[in-house]
Amino acid sequence: MSIPSDDIAVPDRVRELAIGAALTPVWLNGIGGLTFRTDDGRYIKWGPRDLEASLRDEAERMRWARHWITAPEVLAQGQDDTHEWLVTVALDARSAVDPRWVEEPELSVRAVGEGLRTLHDALPVDDCPWEWSVAERLANAAARDVDVPAELRDAPSIDRLVVCHGDACMPNTLLDDAGRPVGFVDLAALGTADRWADIAVASMSTAWNFGPGWEDTLIEAYGIEPDRERLAYYRRLWNES
């Protein structure tokens, strides 16, 4: 995943959804999906249909989660035979990996840890209609013909069941100008699971964005001691499913 160049080709569907607004590319994901910001306060996500988690899933989950946390308002969502798209209202905040935070990695890492704890504490498990359990993830992997190692079927016991973000990597927490966590994006996989499923990925992603040495800082900011067994398991499950 990366920030695309300004001269990237804009898909026709994105131009239609922009309705004349100027477009700035802000994100390119690993399967060719693009995110653009418009100059009238919207984000447009467009990309190939994804069997792992769709933009329809994301729209449903954001609408639900907005009752308890700050997430973008959904304006439109759709798909055709090959691609899908999502239009949301821009929040007044920046990604935790925005260039603004390159010189302040500790502030950003701690904010993501604190924000993840806030999300876990706020979203109600009993009201959540989706799972992100190990069983669900293994079934999803099988549907995509991903061969997950047999030993990953033996998951650790659940420490604390929460509504997980499902993609708690650093970029998906939004910070205000003071570096406080104020919102969340990319909620397509949101669902109930052990909190370590999120913590493992969030802490692992610090190395992708800020280099080594920040994993335990995020976990400390979340408010618990590292559980090495669960961290190792859920990081491997993420990488291999």
Tokens 């604390």 sit on residue: 160
Six token digits for residue 37 = 């910001």
Separation CA 237–CA 93 (nearest Å)? 31
Specify whether the CB–CB gap between 230 and 159 falls below 8 A.
yes
User: Among this protein's residues, is 12 annotated catalytic?
Assistant: no
Separation CA 140–CA 38 (nearest Å)? 33
29 is in an annotated binding site: no
Helix (H) or strand (E) holding 208: helix 195-210
HEC profile of 112-171: HHHHHHHHHHHCCHHHCCCECCHHHHHHHHHHCCCCCCHHHHCCCCCCCEEEECCCCCHH
172 is in an annotated binding site: yes
User: Residue 26, SS3?
Assistant: strand
Separation CA 80–CA 186 (nearest Å)? 20
User: Is the Cα dihedral 49, 170, 207, 37 positive or negative?
Assistant: positive
Beta-bridge mates of residue 34: 28, 46
User: Residue 13, SS3?
Assistant: helix
Instruction: Choose the catalytic residue: 40, 159, 167, 194.
Output: 167
Q: Which residues are annotated as a binding site for Mg(2+)?
A: 172, 186
Catalytic residue list:
167
Residue ranges at the known binding site: 172, 186
